[in-house]
Amino acid sequence: MHVANIVTALVAAVAGLFAGTYATTLIARVPDDASPRPAGRCPECGKRLGWGEMIPVVSYLTRHGRCAHCDKPYGRRYLVTELVTAVIFGVLGLRFGPSPDLAAYLYLAFAGIVLSGIDIDCKRLPDVLTKPSYLVVGGLLAIAVPHMPDGVLRFVYAVIGMVALLALYFVLWLISPRGMAWGDVKLSGSLGLALGWLGMNGFLIGAFAGFLFGALSGLSMVVLGRLKLKSAIPFGPFMCAGALLGVLLSDVVRLPF
């Protein structure tokens, strides 16, 4: 493991703490079409937080997760979202190191966390997050092209991955509109961009791991009696988790075809 990768991972994890703080605000306010409060403000009362309160991890250690202004608790969800974001950012930093394409994956991880939270709460994936992801991820990868030895070829693969995953989800939506939401179709293209950039291994693992995660989760909840056999479940989190697995294993697992 290169020292540069470890340093990048640490920096990315710290950035993930701040990103996770803002992710909780977006999860709470985007579904209601409310204007997201700037980062660094209490998600309850909107007043500016001090440095010790801005990061829920610190706040839980110093004030038991309560705002100094309104004294309302952030709730465990804020802490969990922040920690998950920090861990994912750190793992991606370790995976890519100081690579020009890291920014695209950090952005997509952040968007995926926000979208997953909203999908769990509301069973929707808002356009305000899914559609801009194409431009942001595509733009960041395009910026990385001249700084990588095979950048042009990678970008071609990224576009192919976007089209392929979009087509797959679109066909599934046509076959079963009740089983595949239109928001899932819109999310699939940006995930395809990121997976295609990494080549065939990453694309196949990331594309199909989401279906595997969704099937296993749905089956387990049916067995436990928490869902009926034909109940709809939010699929966005499984898509994002599968894509993350594809990103992390793209250089580790070699598929036999």
Whether the pLDDT of residue 128 is over 70: the answer is yes
Average pLDDT value for residue range 190-204? 94
Choose between 163 and 228: higher pLDDT: 163
Mean pLDDT, residues 77-84 taken together: 83
**Residue closest to 74 by CA, chosen among 51, 30, 50, 41:** 41
Distance (Å, rounded) from C-alpha 101 to C-alpha 151? 10
Residue 4 sits in the same domain as residue 89: yes
Whether residue 108 lies inside any domain: the answer is no
In 3D, which of 52, 26, 27 has the Cα closest to residue 39?
26
Within a domain: residue 115? no
Is 103 a domain residue?
no
Separation of alpha carbons 182 and 180, rounded Å: 7
Distances (CA, A) of 60 to 26, 57, 66, 155: 21, 5, 7, 43
Query: Which of 36-40, 70-74, 183-187 has the highest average model confidence (pLDDT)?
Result: 183-187
Q: Considering only CA atoms, which of 204, 170, 205 is closest in space to residue 189? A: 170
Q: Answer yes or no: do 220 and 177 share one domain.
A: yes
Rounded to two decimals, the pTM is 0.84
Domain boundaries, position 45 = 1-98
DSSP-derived secondary structure letter, 145: G
Count of domains for the chain? 2
DSSP 39: T
Q: What is the pLDDT of residue 56?
A: 53
What does the pLDDT read at residue 110? 96
Does the pLDDT at position 47 exceed 90? no
Question: Which band of pLDDT confidence, cut at 50, 70 and 90, is reported for residue 106?
Answer: very high
For residue 202, the 8-state DSSP code is H
